[in-house]
Amino acid sequence: MITFVMTVYDEPLEMVARQVDKIRILYPNSTVVLFYDGVSTHPIPNVIHVNHGQHLKTRYDAGKWMHLWLSAFLENSSDPYMLKIDPDTELIQPIANLPVGEAVFGSVRIFYVGRTRYFRIHGGGCGYSRSMVEKLVTNRWFLSTEFINNLRFLDQEDVMLAHVIERERLNCIDHIEFSCGRPITPKTAVAHR
């Protein structure tokens, strides 16, 4: 039902293996894709390893990096949902009440700088319906020149994702609290468009 895509850069083998073990306890039949960002593949069995052999999460290629791990989900799973997590995102219980329909879901933060409204969705734990991933990949929004050499975006996937969601008026649901080192808790679903 849910495929987990874990992006791995310089996290130690023990941290990544522990996260895979947690996933296997909560979701024993799930697909786990480890997407490596220019580092050696960890010897973890029963997962799908995707390694392009180069460091992509940089100021100049972060959009390409996002596009590739979104594509890795489509290429390696037929599940209706994907959860992109970091190795240090804490999973302590299965996710209840997955959103119905096309959506990005996760922990949404709205903040203001002066009178300008901004929002971000936590990149360390973010869920996607399959149809939303298909839309993001097909439209190639993260490969646009808009993200290249733009210091506003740097290598921040959550900022790029929030920008595309707002610009394209995509469905984003404040559904689950994800935070590194803190438990996941269900939240009241509120759509942001």
Give the pLDDT confidence score for residue 170 in this predicted structure.
79
Has residue 56 got a pLDDT over 80?
Answer: no
Q: Would the CA dihedral through 144, 111, 82, 86 be positive or negative?
A: positive
End-to-end CA distance of the chain: 26
Task: Tell me the domains of the chain and their CATH numbers.
Answer: 2-192 (3.90.550.10)
Which of the two residues, 171 and 55, has the higher pLDDT score?
171
Give the pLDDT confidence score for residue 5 in this predicted structure.
92
- In whole angstroms, give the CA distance from residue 155 to residue 61: 8
The pLDDT of 25-39, averaged and rounded, is 86
Residue of 121, 125, 120, 104 whose CA lies nearest to 172 = 104
- In whole angstroms, give the CA distance from residue 184 to residue 193: 23
Give the pLDDT confidence score for residue 134 in this predicted structure.
95
Residue of 8, 72, 16 whose CA lies nearest to 44 = 16
